[in-house]
Amino acid sequence: MPMNQTPQSKDALKTEEYWINMGPQHPSTHGVLRLVMKLDGETVLQIVPHLGYIHRSIERMCEWDTYPQLIHFTDRMDYLSAMMTNWAYVQSVEKSLGVVVPERAEYIRVMVAELNRLSSHTMWFGAYCMDLGAATAFFYGFREREMVVDLFEALCGQRLTYNYMRIGGVAKDLTEDFVPRVKAICETIKRAVDEYKALVSGNVIFQQRTKGIGILTPEAAISYGCSGPVLRGSGVKFDLRKDEPYSVYPRLDFDVPTGAAGDCWDRYQVRIEEMLQSVRILEQCINQLPGGAVQADVKAVRPAKGEYYARLETARGDMGVYFVSQGAAKPYRMKFRTACFNNLACLPEIGVGWKVADVVSILGSLDVVIPDIDR
Amino acid sequence: MDRLALLAAVQAAEPAAAVDNAPQWPEASVPLARFRALAQKLHDDPAFGFDYPLSMTAVDWLADNRITCVYHLYSMAHRHTLVLKCDLDRATPSIPTVSDLWRGCEWFEREVFDLFGVAFEEHPDLRRIMLTDDWVGYPLRKDYKDSRIAGKPY
């Protein structure tokens, strides 16, 4: 532009809307998710998510196998909280059979679930900060996650897809050094959360990238069927561990952190606080851990004719397992209701009107795991 | 509302519905012609207060020649659950959408459309959601055959 010309006002400029692809290979989508976005300059006018890039038809595969053979499918959905997706499935089958799980196994399940929640949230913390350009925090998150993952590797031989739960109990008893290592993890997490807060929460740039961005109202969150930290970030105090209690959670004392504004910052805060609550649960479990068997005596797994549904709070929210039995060794129909599917559904609404970089922030704050959506 | 009161209220709201005090959650099976009206009442009436779409799916009953749509509805205010069912003709399954009542149902319905071939009338964006647009057939139907799969594929 020549020096003697004044710049035109934005209104006088001729602008044109255009479509771009974000994904399916894009670092901030954390997997193969494709968002087609209509833009006006940098402003997002419309978002159309395209799912199914890793659809494996797990529900159909479940119709081909017997109930005990299906456990390993479930940890390939939400692989970051595989202990809990395993658990959701075995819980539904136990309900159908009326199996009473030994008390020690219930405590072990709660412990590994809360450890898994810690590993999931620490990884999310690292990845979310990375999305927003804070590369250092990524290593902080992974440092703590590594302790949990190492512990799981000693426990069941796997670092990600555990396949540890069994119908009526768990695969094997705890290793001898399990409890001391959990204690060490608890101490580390308490210290680490303080570090996270000092490093990231107080950072002005981080706050500007999250506060007031991507507001999800409580009404919309409920209507979309959102759950977990996404729902609680919008101020809805709903946690299945408290509100539809299962296992030994009623005996444990913990709080359900909630947000107020429903923006990215609140979803971030809820997860940070949840880590400390998980530590509280773990410390109580260590004190209450009873002895005894870890596996109930389960003979033939043939649920009576009927329909069964089990709900469980994973790190991402409400995981539901619904199956229809005809009294056979294989399910007639198996349906997994996964948290991320509904949590992502609100993105086309809350992402509109923001800049492209804010969509990255909003998507990260929803903490979606793509195989959990695609199944 | 406890389960018996809930069943009685559903029966009063829709006399044509067949209610069942099933072991886990109360169930109501409603004829297709009355489905949308009942869904509207369940959503709008504060006594029911079903504001949360817990789950929505379908089951293919090949032997009976019907597809059953299954809606699991939950109320955040009252903390009660209702299983709403509606039988569809397997040859031309079609049902009114409820995605305007529960927005989460928009994707649930797209998934059922994709994998079962159930059409949802007046759905705002009825496209396949998991499979590619040119996919032939509906994989979760019991009689689905894929030439690339001979029996159990692994």
- Whether residue A9 lies inside any domain: the answer is no
- Whether residue A7 lies inside any domain: the answer is no
Q: Among the residues of B1-154, which ranges form H helices?
A: 3-13, 32-44, 105-116
- Give the closest-approach CA distance of B103 to chain A in angstroms: 5
Structure tokens at A316: 């991402």
- Subunit contact A225:B102, Cβ cutoff 8 A: yes
Asked whether B105 and B129 are in contact (CB, 8 A), the reply is: no
CB pairs under 8 A between A and B: 84
Question: Mapping DSSP to helix (H, G, I), strand (E, B) and coil, where does residue A357 land?
Answer: helix
Hey, is the C-beta of A55 within 8 angstroms of any chain B C-beta? yes
pLDDT higher than 70, residue B154:
no
Hey, is the C-beta of B76 within 8 angstroms of any chain A C-beta? yes
Q: Which of B24, B102, B103 sits opposite A309 (nearest CB)?
A: B24
Q: Max CA-CA distance within chain A?
A: 88
**Highest mean pLDDT, choosing among A15-19, A30-34, B99-103:** B99-103
Backbone angles phi, psi at B43, to 5 degrees: -80, -45
- Whether residue A77 lies inside any domain: the answer is yes
Confidence bin at B15 (pLDDT 50/70/90): confident
Spatial CA neighbour of A75 closest among A371, A373, A374: A371
Beta bridge partners of A320: A311, A337
Identify which has the larger pLDDT, A290 or B149. Answer: A290
Question: A59 to chain B: which residues are within 8 Å by CB?
Answer: 115, 140
- Give the closest-approach CA distance of A60 to chain B in angstroms: 6
pLDDT tens digits, one per residue of B82-121? 999 999 988 889 999 999 999 999 999 999 999 999 999 9
SS3 content of chain A, % helix, strand, coil (to 5): 50, 15, 35
pLDDT number for residue A231: 92
- Subunit contact B24:A222, Cβ cutoff 8 A: no
Question: What part of A 304-323 touches B (C-beta under 8 Å)?
Answer: 306-309, 311, 318, 320, 322
- How many distinct structural domains can be found in chain A? 1
pLDDT higher than 60, residue A1:
no
What is the Cα–Cα distance from B112 to B119, expressed in whole angstroms?
Answer: 9
pLDDT number for residue A328: 87
Torsion-angle region of B104 (φ positive above 0: left; ψ -120 to 50: alpha; else: beta): alpha
Amino acid letter, A164 = Y
- Whether residue A116 lies inside any domain: the answer is yes
Q: Strand runs (DSSP E) across chain A, as ranges? A: 18-22, 34-40, 43-50, 165-166, 169-170, 306-314, 317-325, 333-337
- A301-330 exposure pattern, b = at least 16 Cβ within 10 A, e = fewer: bbbeeebbbbbbbbbbbbbbbbbbbeeeeb
How deeply is B148 buried, as exposed, middle or buried, from its count of CB atoms within 10 A (0-12, 13-18, 19+)? exposed
pLDDT number for residue A112: 93
Confidence bin at B11 (pLDDT 50/70/90): confident
Hey, is the C-beta of B47 within 8 angstroms of any chain A C-beta? no
CATH number at residue A206: 1.10.645.10
Question: A52 to chain B: which residues are within 8 Å by CB?
Answer: 128-132
Give residue A212's Cα distance to chain centre. 23
Beta strand A43-50 with A34-40: parallel, antiparallel or unpaired? antiparallel
Confidence bin at B147 (pLDDT 50/70/90): low
What is the Cα–Cα distance from A62 to A73, expressed in whole angstroms?
Answer: 8
Instruction: State the residue range of the domain holding A107.
Output: 16-374
Percent of chain B clearing pLDDT 70 (strictly above): 95
pLDDT higher than 90, residue B2:
no
Chain-wide mean pLDDT for chain A? 88
What is the Cα–Cα distance from B136 to B151, expressed in whole angstroms?
Answer: 18
pLDDT number for residue A182: 92
Beta bridge partners of A140: none
pLDDT number for residue A324: 92
What is the Cα–Cα distance from A53 to A27, expressed in whole angstroms?
Answer: 15
Confidence bin at B133 (pLDDT 50/70/90): confident
Q: Strand runs (DSSP E) across B1-154, as ranges? A: 18-20, 27-29, 52-61, 66-74, 81-89, 94-96, 119-121
Model-level ipTM above the cut of 0.95: no
- Whether residue A66 lies inside any domain: the answer is yes
* Separation in Å, CA B79 to CA A262, A311, B6, B49: 22, 13, 12, 9
pLDDT number for residue A4: 64
List Cβ neighbours of A365 (8 Å cut-off, separation of 6 or more): A128, A210, A214, A230, A233, A264, A267, A268
Confidence bin at B152 (pLDDT 50/70/90): low
pLDDT number for residue A149: 93
What is the Cα–Cα distance from A197 to A182, expressed in whole angstroms?
Answer: 22
Confidence bin at B72 (pLDDT 50/70/90): very high
Which residue of chain B comes nearest to A325, CA vs CA?
Answer: B59
DSSP state of A295: B
pLDDT tens digits, one per residue of A209-266? 898 888 999 999 999 999 999 999 999 999 999 888 888 999 999 999 998 888 999 9
Asked whether A339 and A78 are in contact (CB, 8 A), the reply is: yes
DSSP state of A284: H
Question: A332 to chain B: which residues are within 8 Å by CB?
Answer: 59
Hey, is the C-beta of B23 within 8 angstroms of any chain A C-beta? yes
What is the Cα–Cα distance from B50 to B2, expressed in whole angstroms?
Answer: 14
Least confident of A28-32, A66-70, A152-156, A326-330: A28-32
Percent of chain A clearing pLDDT 90 (strictly above): 40
Which of A36, A47, A51 to probe by mutation at the B interface, max B CB count within 10 Å?
A: A51
Q: What is the pTM (predicted TM-score) of this model?
A: 0.88
- Whether residue A369 lies inside any domain: the answer is yes
Backbone angles phi, psi at A251, to 5 degrees: -85, -10
- Whether residue A45 lies inside any domain: the answer is yes
- Whether residue A147 lies inside any domain: the answer is yes
pLDDT number for residue A283: 92
- Subunit contact B55:A224, Cβ cutoff 8 A: no
pLDDT number for residue B135: 86
What is the Cα–Cα distance from B145 to B63, expressed in whole angstroms?
Answer: 17
Confidence bin at A7 (pLDDT 50/70/90): low
- Give the closest-approach CA distance of B62 to chain A in angstroms: 11
